[in-house]
Amino acid sequence: MKTKKPAILALADGTVFEGYSFGSEGETIGEVVFNTSMTGYQEVLTDPSYRGQIVAMTYTEQGNYGVNPEDVESWRPWVEGFIVKDPCEYPSNWRHLKGGVSLDEYLKKNSIVGISGIDTRALTRRIREKGAMEGVISTVDLNPVSLVDKAEKSPGLVGRDLVKEVTCKEPYKWDEGLWTLEGGYGRIPVIAREAKQSRGGEGSQIPSPSPLGERAGVRGKRFKVVAYDFGIKRNILRNLVSSGCDVTVVPATTTAEDVLKMNPDGVFLSNGPGDPEPVRYAQESIKKLMGKKPVFGICLGHQLMGLALGGKTFKMKFGHRGANQPVKDLKTGRVEITCQNHGFAVDMDSVKKAAELTHVNLNDLTVEGLCHREGRFFSVQYHPEASPGPHDAAYLFKRFVEMMGKG
């Protein structure tokens, strides 16, 4: 029987949990948050929005279907640490059998420190009562007093620009569409030809899925979209491609002037980590783009749009993280089950003169969507590409395409 190595999670308020080492050994510091999704741990691990955070999964068992090469949302995992009650040692899934690894192996391979065997319900209740706070997971320092001190001295997320740590370094084309059972992730032939030229002969021959743009009343036209990478998830890009967009991804620091020189039909503002307020360079670019091009923002992109409109954002007590958040569309009265991952929100009173409220969270009535009264921009706080509904929010990509179709 394998001997379990002890590990400790210590929170800045002095709370200590004793458990077992899971994943890589060592020590890590970050803001401790919880995610209520029952599945999707692989997407959580690789979402750049979790930069600076230690994530606790509230659902008891994690890792039962392993980690496969296809379902990553970025080129590497971004969480600072991972907390689970019961990790599955022997995953079983047909996709796992095709080159996958166990969750424990994946964390070890990527040097992510984790802890298992603690009471994750008690941890979640602590965060709900006291708020998200800094914490430390360690397998090398098992002194609770020392670890609490380290957590107390951690700078936290407020005022830190984490976007520059996760954004791409250079612009690039994205040609991959949504996953299908028959062909996996297909590629749009037009972009594949461009990629073939730029990569010296490498190109995909996989047929693309039918673009949603053809069903959006734009006669199959493909629209040129510039997507800002504030920590963008790959499935957002796949949805844009399959909705009828030719996508170029640009670094977060790209100026509005440089974007306009590319003459896109529309601009997309991605998700990303941390506090939106210090990301002022992006706010300035967004100000200059709104009114000149159709703009669609998700999550951090939504918050940055709110700031660009002259509004304010605030840090939430413990945020929204999970695949079961109810959101009401105020225009239709329809309720969507949404996937979310954010710890900051837009103050509606600060932007109500510049934008219209379109969506609200039914748990706490926080802002979940904004739009321009004349239809030139819109944004949502949640993640339509994550498909928890599973298709409740797919219309948002269609709306963006329709907006570009109007010119």
For 74-94, the pLDDT digits (tens) are: 999 999 999 999 999 999 998
What's the pLDDT at 210? 34
**Catalytic residue positions?**
299, 383, 385
The pLDDT of residue 215 is above 70: no
Single out the residue of 192, 250, 246 nearest to residue 223, CA to CA: 246
**Residue 377 contacts residue 295 (beta carbons within 8 Å):** yes
2 three-class SS: coil
Greater model confidence, 200 or 339: 339
Please report where in the chains the tokens 């923002």 appear, as a residue: 297
Give CATH for domain 6-153.
3.50.30.20
Helices (DSSP H) in 187-253: which residue ranges? 189-198, 234-242
Single out the residue of 316, 161, 313, 155 nearest to residue 230, CA to CA: 161
The pLDDT of residue 145 is above 60: yes
The pLDDT of residue 212 is above 90: no
DSSP string for residues in 279-334: -HHHHHHHHHHBTTB-EEEETHHHHHHHHHTT-EEEEEEEEEEEEEEEEEETTT--
pTM of the full predicted structure?
A: 0.90
Distance of CA 131 to the CA centre of its chain: 21
What's the pLDDT at 220? 59
| Domain residue ranges in the chain | 6-153, 163-405
Distance of CA 64 to the CA centre of its chain: 22
Confidence at 185, pLDDT banded by 50, 70, 90? confident
The pLDDT of residue 406 is above 60: yes
| Overall average pLDDT of the 374-396 stretch | 89
Confidence at 201, pLDDT banded by 50, 70, 90? very low
369 three-class SS: strand
As its CATH architecture, domain 163-405 has 3-Layer(aba) Sandwich (3.40)
- In angstroms, the CA 160 to CA 94 distance is 41
